Structure 1
Amino acid sequence: MQLGVGVIGTGFMGKTHALAWRNVKAVLGGVMGPVPVPELRLLCDTPADKAVAMADQFGFAAATSDWQALVRDPAIDVVSITTPNGMHHAMAMAAIAAGKHVWCEKPMALTLAEAEEMADAARARGVVTMVGYNYLKNPAFTHAQRLIHDGAIGRVVQFRGWVDEDYQADPELPWSWRAKLADAGLGALGDIGTHLVSMAHGLMGPIASLIADMQTIHETRPLPDGQGRGVVENEDAAAVVLRFANGAQGSMVISRAAWGRKSRLGFEVHGTKGMIVFDQERMNELQLYQNEGPKAEQGFKTILTGPAHPPYGEFCPAPGHQLGFNDLKVIECATLLRGIAGLEAAHPDFGDALRIERVIHAIADSARNGGSRVHL
């Protein structure tokens, strides 16, 4: 069975989707079973000449500058949406209405109401969906989940998470769509905070309540034409105190203006018998402390991912040789294909991602109301 693939967007995430669709067969051949074979049929971007050039570079059969034409095309079975945030809702709703499966980057939409509409439509139409939380596919992260499930650190009692980058740290960086509520929605929360929430959910379960604060560090930025400065309408940073449904405490700090940090997405999970620590900037390592044996010999140990942490072995047979960011997108793509084939639930789908969206909007609501507690 073949699956016609259409990708909308050719930027950072558009390229990662294209690479994933091209490379997923190598992983599928090893462990993923009888799933549809993706065919790169149509790539969309503007202007048209850019779409043609990128289609040739990425290996797509054809190009268009009309995303609606891509969604309507009967040769397209699944649509990858990698555009700026403000376009996700309209594109996803059109694709769902046309009966297409959808792979959409996060956040789902600008508003919680739009995200809810997307999840409801996908469920009603019966299409398979996936949202781009690729860090959940890291073998180090899934091993952390197994350790917690197996009781390696006892009962979990606290989660501490952080996500810091410096792509908005420079106050003279020109104003862009990322600073505008109508185009980006939430700022650091929507762009990178969602990833941290996805990890918290994956390790600790649902968040029951929270108290939060937000900060816009650079309130204006120079306009691209050099004529004055534009107002930054969303947040650069946030801090959150959490209570999980299982009774554990938690905290999160989020910043897109943290000089020197590139992808510092990480966590500590504290348990009654030990602790797990992870940092995405060292994405092939997991730190584990267990209160076992003589006190003089206790300490953190480094678990270096390898073939013993599937599906690492489908990429490389040698431990310590490292997986990368794009490999995580390949694993994500494989999960989507298995979902379409009915072999497993595609996770996180629009319903799963909606729960993440509810958390980031609850953080914003709490901050806007003076740090009041919000129950989810």
Structure 2
Amino acid sequence: MTDTSPNTGPNTGPLRIGFAGGNATRGWARDAHLPAIRALPGLAVGAVSARDQSLADEAAAVFGAPVAYGDTLAMVRDPGIDIVAVTVKVPEHRAIVLAAIAAGKHVYCEWPLGRDLAEAEELAAAARASDVHVAIGLQGTHAPAIRHAARLVREGAIGRPLNLRVVSPTAGWANEAPPFYAYLQDKRNGATLSSIAGGHTIAVIEAIVGPYADLSAINSILRDTVRISGTDEVVQRTCPDHVLAIGRHANGCVSSLEVLGGLPNTPFLFELRGTEGALTVSGHHAGGFQVSDLTVTATPAAAPQSAHVVAGLAGGPINVAESWAAFEADIRAGTRTVPDFETAVRLTRVLDAIDTAADTGGRVTIAD
């Protein structure tokens, strides 16, 4: 551990965040979480950890962290940390989340929560048995456009939702990947096109039109080998790079969802038709719709969507800042409004239903 500032005692100022998985040169924590937190006066970086001390020291210099840990579990036990942000690879989530909850820390965990439903249920049970606040990183649901669209539907602006068409492309899962994304090609790691791009999209679909009741699906591996850029290595892809799902929602709305990899220049499409009107959500980012600044268009014309809670951000940090602002507000007020580990379990069940439907060729009912 490298400590350049005392970090003990009760917190009367900003909530102090310990980053599990800081990286000085790349990564979602550096590129999205860090600018978001710097824009929120009620939050501060309190520590950062990495897989060894030298990497932690490098990350701390970039993050402005007063403490650097080469041991993440030691950081979790730091009495000066209020929130543990879990931004490591998905297979490493479980151990860190369980340790953080046991240490009485609030937890913000990147989506997906775990490698599979069993891990998600285990982590949700641990959170349920504690007094800590937990958040799952489904930042797309915090986008002002998504909240606005959900409010319009809830208030009956387009009548009863009838049918929804969604196309959700992303640059990832193409025919080439950088070395640090090689692990995304292996289904066993739980970080796939289905779970990441599909999960973020389904979370938004359910936020706007309500939960799926049942669905059918086709999973496809269109490119079964992946070149690792800058090397001669070729790895096998064992997870789908194309997902089609046809669903019926609890309110009777029917929906089609297509999730596609390898398409950095294709815009996001979300078209919802109701008995009294329609709305679209549009936007584009190579990293997926959840990273972009989205816009809602409704007919008949509706009130404009609200502005961002945090001004002055662009790209990835926009919706991440919205989610952090809501999580901070929950912790301080004792409320529980943000998507949490129970949300993650529900979403993982939907993803499991897609896999089951694709494997069996049948229609799968989704348990509550």
**Superposition TM-score tier, normalisation by shorter sequence:** 0.7 to 0.9
CA offset at residue 46 of structure 1? 3.2
Is contact 1:44-1:66 (8 Å) kept? yes
Kindly tell me the number of residue pairs found equivalent between the two proteins: 343
Deviations 1:255-288 (A, max 9, x none): 1223533xx4441121001111012327342111
Match of 1:273 among 271, 276, 289: 276
Whole-angstrom CA distance in 1 between matches of 2:240 and 2:341 = 24
Match of 2:187 among 177, 181, 189: 181
SS of 1:110's equivalent in the other structure is coil
Is contact 2:90-2:191 (8 Å) kept? no
Match of 1:108 among 108, 113, 116: 113
Query: Where do 1:352-371 residues align within 5 Å?
Result: 352-371=343-362
CA offset at residue 172 of structure 1? 7.3
SS of 2:39's equivalent in the other structure is helix
- Compute the RMSD of aligned alpha carbons: 2.4
Deviations 1:99-155 (A, max 9, x none): 111001101111101001111110101210111111112212211122112211111
CA offset at residue 50 of structure 1? 2.6
- What percentage of aligned pairs have identical amino acids? 28
Residues 223 and 267 (structure 1 numbering): CA distance in 2 closer, same or farther, change over 3 Å? Answer: closer
Whole-angstrom CA distance in 2 between matches of 1:118 and 1:158 = 34
The 10-residue stretch of structure 1 (82-91 or 102-111) with the greater mean CA deviation from structure 2: 82-91
CA offset at residue 171 of structure 1? 4.7
Whole-angstrom CA distance in 1 between matches of 2:268 and 2:228 = 30
The one-letter amino acid paired with 2:272 is: V
Whole-angstrom CA distance in 1 between matches of 2:160 and 2:271 = 14
Residues 346 and 18 (structure 1 numbering): CA distance in 2 closer, same or farther, change over 3 Å? Answer: farther
Is contact 2:162-2:254 (8 Å) kept? yes
Aligned equivalent of 2:93: 88
SS of 1:95's equivalent in the other structure is helix
Is contact 2:175-2:226 (8 Å) kept? no
Aligned equivalent of 2:21: 9
CA offset at residue 325 of structure 1? 3.2
The one-letter amino acid paired with 2:33 is: H
Residues 148 and 223 (structure 1 numbering): CA distance in 2 closer, same or farther, change over 3 Å? Answer: closer
The one-letter amino acid paired with 1:68 is: L
Residues 60 and 213 (structure 1 numbering): CA distance in 2 closer, same or farther, change over 3 Å? Answer: same
| Gap runs ≥5 in structure 1 | 26-36, 291-300, 317-321
Task: Please tell me whether residue 20 in structure 1 is matched to residue 36 in structure 2.
Answer: yes
Match of 1:287 among 297, 305, 309: 297
Aligned equivalent of 1:326: 317
CA offset at residue 65 of structure 1? 1.9
Q: Normalization by structure 2: what TM-score? A: 0.86
The one-letter amino acid paired with 1:332 is: S
Residues 114 and 188 (structure 1 numbering): CA distance in 2 closer, same or farther, change over 3 Å? Answer: same
SS of 2:270's equivalent in the other structure is strand
Aligned equivalent of 1:246: 251
Match of 1:135 among 129, 134, 140: 140
The one-letter amino acid paired with 1:201 is: E
Is contact 1:109-1:115 (8 Å) kept? yes
Deviations 1:331-352 (A, max 9, x none): 2111111111135323101111
| Gap runs ≥5 in structure 2 | 1-11, 285-291
The one-letter amino acid paired with 2:82 is: D
Is contact 2:246-2:256 (8 Å) kept? yes
